Chains A and B, each alone.
Chain A
Amino acid sequence: EIVLTQSPATLSLSPGERATLSCRASQSVSSYLAWFQQKPGQAPRLLIYGASNRAAAVPARFSGSGSATDFTLTISGLEPEDFAIYYCQQRSDWPYTFGQGTKLEIK
């Protein structure tokens, strides 16, 4: 099973700042990686697929990069609605797995 390790566990930033979230895979997942945003009491929302492609209706301030084992989600210019938990997920190999999440909180 491919293990995804996200860092940091918690990120405290202020609105307007830039957020950089990391996801590292225990083995190569090529570009088969997605990022999801989850707010309390809500289902996850797909933000990024294929490591770097924004899903429909996702604002341009969200961007993804990386390949193989190291991936980054960048949120440039944090908006109040961006404070949430972010998960990476690989679909390179079954079972598909998620990282443990990064909580982005308001400083």
Chain B
Amino acid sequence: VQLVQSGGGLVKSGGSLRLSCAASDFTFSDYYMAWIRQAPGKGLEWLSYISSDSRYTKYVDSVRGRFTISRDNARATMYLEINSVRAEDTAVYYCARLASYGSGSYADSWGQGTLVTVSS
């Protein structure tokens, strides 16, 4: 299982950017996927997830309306569109695969993370 992230970097407050997560070595279209972030020196925050067929998405309140999760199964890639960025969006963003077990689905594989820094 490989999840390779790209995008991120320095963005001005109020700006936009798109993060990508390219999957390989597994059947991407079979899995739900998620975005999780970690502010510098802080804990983990689950942001969003998307179903295998893109029919279902969920967002945490702090990003709903500003962030959009999407995926392209033909390209085996997931995206996170970030709009109206704020200082508090500065974080390392991780993509993760959600594997189904009998007791629910869990983030069993993670990307390497990509840093988003919001400047004023």
Task: Tell me how far the C-beta of A49 lies from the nearest C-beta in chain B, rounded to whole angstroms.
Answer: 4
Q: Cβ of A95 and Cβ of B60 under 8 Å apart? A: yes
Q: Chain B contact residues: over half helix, strand or loop, or mixed?
A: strand
A91 is contacted by which of B43, B94, B104, B108 (Cβ under 8 Å)?
Answer: B104
Q: Total interface residues on A, using CB and 8 Å?
A: 25
- Chain B residues with Cβ below 8 Å from A100 are 43
A92-107: which have CB < 8 Å to B?
94-101
Task: Tell me how far the C-beta of A100 lies from the nearest C-beta in chain B, rounded to whole angstroms.
Answer: 5
Task: Tell me how far the C-beta of A12 lies from the nearest C-beta in chain B, rounded to whole angstroms.
Answer: 20
- Chain B residues with Cβ below 8 Å from A36 are 44, 107
Task: Tell me how far the C-beta of A7 lies from the nearest C-beta in chain B, rounded to whole angstroms.
Answer: 14
Task: Tell me how far the C-beta of B101 lies from the nearest C-beta in chain A, rounded to whole angstroms.
Answer: 5
Chain B residues near A (Cβ < 8 Å): 43-46, 58, 60-61, 94, 101-108, 110-113
- Given A49-B104, A89-B107, A95-B60, 9 new contacts (CB under 8 A): A36-B107, A43-B94, A43-B112, A44-B44, A46-B108, A53-B101, A55-B108, A91-B104, A98-B44
